[in-house]
Amino acid sequence: MTNSATPIVILGGGLAGLYCALKLAPLPVTLIAPNPVGSSGASYWAQGGIAAAVEEGDTPEKHAFDTIAAGAGLVEAEIALGMAQEARKRIDELLELGAPFDRTKHGLFLPSQEAAHSHRRIIRVKGDSAGRAIMETLKTKLRTTPSITLVEGATAYKITKNSNSSLSVYCSTSEGQTIEYRCACLVLATGGVGHLYKITTNPCDSCGAGLAMAAQAGALIADAEFVQFHPTAIDINTDPAPLATESLRGEGATIINRFGRRFLLDCDHRAELAPRDIVARKVFESIQQGSGAFLDAREKIGQDFPSRFPAVYASCLTAGIDPITQPIPIAPAAHYHMGGVLTDARGRSSINNLWAIGEVASTGVHGANRLASNSLLEALVFADRVATDIKQHHFSSSEEIDIVSHPNIFPIDQSTIIAEIREIMSAYVGVIRSNTGLSFALKRFITLYKMDNTPIVQNMLITAIFIAAGALTRCESRGAHFREDYPFENPKLACRTHMTINQVLDIASKCI
């Protein structure tokens, strides 16, 4: 094992991590990512855009109101309002860096509509390419920022606390080396949990490693049970599944079954623009009943599809579907985790010198159900806040690090166990849950957890246990969490979930 001492380490090369590193300049930062920064991942693939009140008549207060309403009683109102109030400033900063947001010839934004928003406030790039464009903009800035040391191809798998209050993070490289980075400040920006599920829009490294590492180091985890399923992943048997952006529905595309019937009208007057959890459940039920589900853009978008939504159009053509003339087959896919490492308004976790930003964090702004296009906004706002907080931090001196041998973390092929985890999560910890299914999942997960696994698989199991244990103990349906044996909200449970690793392992052990 080799080692390195550095003042600030950021884990993750998505929007949150990269933006935080840039905002920390000129402080020296080591940015560690498992894949090339800015060319893959959930941020890069994000289609919808960034939510911000820019339309005449819209306000941050209205944006916050919609955010709180979507969150089903669990949103931290002050934090949601603060995020909405900072939105325009973050958008303007990206504009200054060169982000090519869609605008009129007079420079005004061209915001789109998405589900559960009361105004058109989704700032986009070429209809469905916001994530890619923003990440390319930040990559360009990264190349001219000498304070950032970039380490690509390194997978973090463990965090430990040291005697002088510094933290160590252990990473395995693609060459088989293990490196310990000891730092005064550690920022988690590792992304979400989608790849714990068989059907997901997330990349393969979104498997909950950051949550598991933080939990094993002693961090509190919040709201783990709340996983948002995007209702319109393109169902073409690819992993991950390509996404049909919600903006398509905002522009008039409808959801039909194989008989051409708009079945969402039966359950909600907002139909396709109802909150994601409602749409996802009804799409799931239609598929389970054999009626299928399809996104129909033929009438409202039609011939304009290639120019207005080029990324979705390309995904469809690859699968042999022409969305100009054919409905697009869809299915709900694990898309976003509202839960994660508990943080305060500055992004601080419950562990000294550990911050969390982006999807790995649970800041309180999403509650039980994230409002569409608030994810990129949250990443930007909290990346900026964390950078500000760290700049006020007094760095402790790093201790000398002894070089010790450490086993390679990839000696065993555990693809079979990974496939089983993903099958169980989709079947029993997915769109519709029950006591029986969740108990079965936890029984199997704790059995696998006690086996001799690689750290990568062990981290997956820990995060899966957190999600399933949170879902088992929340005996109600709220937001993205739906229990068929408890189909209604319980007002007495309108509070966030805070759990430790020992608590969830105890819950899982009782299922054996």
For 423, the 3-state DSSP assignment is helix
Alpha helices in 409-454 (DSSP H): 415-428, 435-449
* Residue 276 among the catalytic residues: yes
Measure the CA–CA gap between 431 and 197, rounded to whole angstroms: 11
> How far from each other are the two terminal CA atoms of the chain, in whole angstroms?
38
Helix axes of 415-428 and 455-473: crossing angle, nearest 10 degrees: 10
Q: In one letter, which amino acid is 354?
A: L
Measure the CA–CA gap between 336 and 200, rounded to whole angstroms: 9
Measure the CA–CA gap between 403 and 416, rounded to whole angstroms: 34
Question: Beta strands 154-161 and 167-173: pairing type?
Answer: antiparallel
**What single DSSP character describes residue 398?**
P
Closest CA to 181 of 350, 27, 7, 16: 7
The alpha carbons of the chain give a radius of gyration, in whole angstroms, of 22
Question: Using omega within 30 degrees of 0 as the cis cutoff, is the peptide bond preceding 275 cis?
Answer: no
Chain-centroid distance, C-alpha 113:
21
* Contacts for 435-443: CB closer than 8 Å, 24+ residues apart: 435/472, 435/483, 435/485, 438/468, 438/471, 438/472, 439/472, 439/511, 440/511, 441/468, 442/468, 442/469, 442/472, 442/507, 442/508, 442/511, 443/508, 443/511, 443/512
Under a CB-based contact definition with an 8 Å cutoff, are residues 399 and 167 in contact? no
**Among the options 124, 132, 276, 281, which is catalytic?**
276
Under a CB-based contact definition with an 8 Å cutoff, are residues 305 and 323 in contact? yes
Measure the CA–CA gap between 281 and 331, rounded to whole angstroms: 10
Hey, which residues are catalytic here? 276
